[in-house]
Amino acid sequence: MNINCSGKLIDLSTPRVMGILNLTPDSFFDGGNLKNDEDILNKVEKMLNEGATFIDVGGYSSKPNANDVSENEELKRVIPVIELLVNNYPDILISIDTFRSTIVKKAVEAGACMINDISAGNLDLNMFATVANLQVPYIIMHMQGTPKTMQVNPTYNDITQDIIFYFSQKLNTLRRLGVNDVLIDVGFGFGKTLEQNYELLNNLDLFSNLDTPLLTGVSRKSMLYNVLETTPKEALNATTVANTIALLHGSSILRVHDVKEAIEAVKIVKKLKK
């Protein structure tokens, strides 16, 4: 299975790793760590050297109860950084993590080649048309509610079936609009209880029926550190365990804070499957 990023065909038959670049002061794990351009370039260079195929740039924290960020503030956070990265790493593959179509347009103009939308178009009705116009790979995630409300009593009839149905409807709409490269993310922690997250992790292989690449983002999340009664800082080993499970269940991309360990998981699982 391939996706087309800026004219480059990316083969996903071997899973890829997406490194997280948070440009927000309040992200749950590494918010506010990057103080200047040098910090940003050092962080990205490390992730690329460790084997990241994609760098996911985000300027809007989507943790539970996150504060709203204005469109102007989000633009100020992400566009100069995308330009900085493209200037320093001309071959870099940048994903823009946003639910706003206006940010998407400017990010792609600046050099991003993929869109990561936590709302799957639900928070901006212009998003699908924008993606169809830009013809870049589009990651749609499942979220119940909004970042501010998503953890208030999330309920489902059957979480796996409900989310498969949700994606099938979204994929039908996008394909009718002519969007070729769509990836899905079940949205661990986005409107799910602890038990629901693990049910989804255990059922990830069922999403292969949708015939589209699967991105998994469990890195240092509360579904891991709450079970272990630790903190995000201490959840790297748990993240590697969960990433390995996701790979065994068919994930094509791991979205992570820690690239080296994710690449190691990919290599071990690849050897196992041979």
In a domain, 63, yes or no: yes
Please report, for the domain that includes residue 53, its CATH number.
3.20.20.20
In a domain, 18, yes or no: yes
The pLDDT score that the predictor gives to residue 171 is 98
In a domain, 1, yes or no: no
Which of 6-20, 53-67, 110-124, 258-272 is predicted least confidently? 53-67
Q: Of 262, 7, 109, nearest to 96 (Cα)? A: 109
Known catalytic residues?
221, 255
In a domain, 2, yes or no: no
Token output for 228: 């272990």
In a domain, 9, yes or no: no
Query: In the chain, how many domains are there?
Result: 1
- The one-character DSSP state at 98 is -
Q: Which domain holds residue 97?
A: 14-273
| 42-51: Cβ within 8 A, 24+ apart | 44/19, 44/85, 44/89, 44/92, 45/89, 46/259, 47/19, 47/21, 47/259, 48/19, 48/89, 48/92, 50/19, 50/259, 50/260, 50/263, 51/17, 51/259, 51/260, 51/263
The pLDDT score that the predictor gives to residue 92 is 97
Q: Is the distance from CB of 160 to CB of 197 less than 8 angstroms?
A: no
In a domain, 22, yes or no: yes
Q: Of 231, 220, 215, nearest to 97 (Cα)? A: 215
In a domain, 26, yes or no: yes
In a domain, 47, yes or no: yes
Tell me the average pLDDT of the chain. Answer: 92
Which of 141-150, 196-205, 240-249 is predicted least confidently? 141-150
